[in-house]
Chain A
């Protein structure tokens, strides 16, 4: 969850099928393939969360209630690096802000109120937004179907695979012995890698890494992660 691989894949898939008749089944296939792919990330999250010291129950509640992958990874990441609870919550919330921008794009399309709006908000993540927007040439009905099918599909698979990862990691024991302590930063690298599509974005990523390392000895554990937002602000301030 959180990668942009699916976006490319959905676009490629869509281009290949452009000349085909517009059918609900193609939207369904897009949604399903994205939902299944996300499962692997669920396993990684489940394992990372247990390695950070969360119980299997807490890990599963994370995926059920927070349901936005990068934020979940960030929260358990800050905790496992010895950061304060407030730092974990702040890092997760900062990563969740992009979901608000997705909601702004989706609201005029979905036009839902009350409990349905709350459900739509909960399912507003990278994948559901991406599939919805990739259906644009198939019309608003396909876009809405893409959103709901992907949102629900990812929700189901993300939670099943979180449980599998958490139970698996619990059975393994010492995280370092099985390389889990390296798997977690590798997972973050795997999440950020597909986003680095331009040289400028690679510079932002590199600068953020250097900045976080340089300030590490002077700040409490976990804070350098949040402080790295300064780099995003610095680069984003001017065009």
Chain B
């Protein structure tokens, strides 16, 4: 399955990128399509935050990861750069994981 995901994701990503360079501009000029497209990354990335941080399989689970996420939120409010946010989350989550 890993190889399938890798190959299909790569092929589709390149096809989508190439499509943008090849089609006439008016094809994707629809205002509604552009509005939705601008929001899609926000919805997907937001869903990925909770799916990765608060879910195990199909259950909502609050464990050590939530501490890491809250620490990340604090770091982001403090305007920390991306690497700091990730490291702060990892360290605080790992501390709680071992402490338990």
Contacts and interface: CB of A to CB of B under 8 A. Distances in A.
Contact of B40 (A108, A229, A237): A229
A110 B17 CA distance: 14
B48 A73 contact: yes
A195 B42 contact: yes
A103 B22 CA distance: 8
Interface stretch (A10-18, A25-33, A173-181): A173-181
B5 A228 contact: no
Nearest to B19: A100
Interface stretch (A117-125, A131-139, A152-160): A117-125
A225 B37 CA distance: 16
Interface of A: 2-3, 5, 40-41, 43-44, 53-55, 58, 61-62, 65-68, 70-75, 77-82, 85, 88-89, 91-104, 106-108, 110, 117-118, 120-122, 124, 176-193, 195-196, 201, 204-206, 208-209, 211-213, 216-222, 224-229, 231-233, 235-237, 239
Given A58-B6, A98-B40, 4 more contacts: A3-B82, A98-B37, A195-B45, A208-B46
Contacts of B44: 70, 74, 91, 94-95, 208, 225-226, 228-229, 232
9 contacts: A73-B48, A101-B20, A101-B37, A182-B53, A188-B49, A192-B42, A205-B45, A221-B57, A229-B43
Nearest to A91: B44
Contacts, number: 320
Interface residues of B, number: 75
Chain B interface, DSSP helix/strand/loop, else mixed: helix
A97 B39 CA distance: 11
A107 B27 CA distance: 14
Chain A interface, DSSP helix/strand/loop, else mixed: helix
B18 interface: yes
A212 B50 contact: yes
A121 to B, nearest CB: 4
A185 B48 contact: yes
Given A124-B17, A201-B42, A178 B90 contact: yes
A86 B79 CA distance: 36
Given A70-B41, A93-B16, A182-B92, A192 B9 contact: no
A236 B97 contact: no
A103 B17 contact: yes
Give 5 closest A-B pairs by Cβ, nearest first. Answer: A103-B20, A182-B68, A179-B90, A182-B93, A186-B89
